[in-house]
Amino acid sequence: MVKEEVDCETATDSSSCTNGLLWLTRAMDFLVELFRNLLAHPDWTMTESCTDSYGKTLKKFHGWIASSAF
C-alpha cells in the first residue's frame, strides 16, 4: 500500500494511508512514553505525565497553534 502511494506520488497527501500510518506511529510513541512516565513517576499527575510525553514525542510535529493547546 505504501509502495503504491509512493509510486503514484500520493504518499504525502494529507489523506493518504502513508500519512495515516505515520501519525499512528507517532501516537503510539506518545502512548509508550506516557506509560513510561506513569511507571517511572507515580507522584506525577496525569497532566504532568501527558505534557512531558507530548514534549518528547509529538510537539516537534505540531505547529504553534496545536502545540499551544498543551
Total count of domains within the chain: 1
pLDDT tens-digit readout, 3-49: 888 888 887 888 889 999 999 999 999 999 999 999 999 999 999 99
The pTM is what? 0.79
Residue 18 is assigned to a structural domain of this protein = no
Write down the residue that cell numbers 506513569 correspond to.
38
Q: What is the pLDDT of residue 68?
A: 65
Residue 6 is assigned to a structural domain of this protein = no
pLDDT tens-digit readout, 54-63: 999 999 998 8
For residue 56, the enclosing domain spans 32-64
Residue 4 is assigned to a structural domain of this protein = no
| Of 21, 26, 30, 24, the residue nearest 51 (C-alpha) | 30
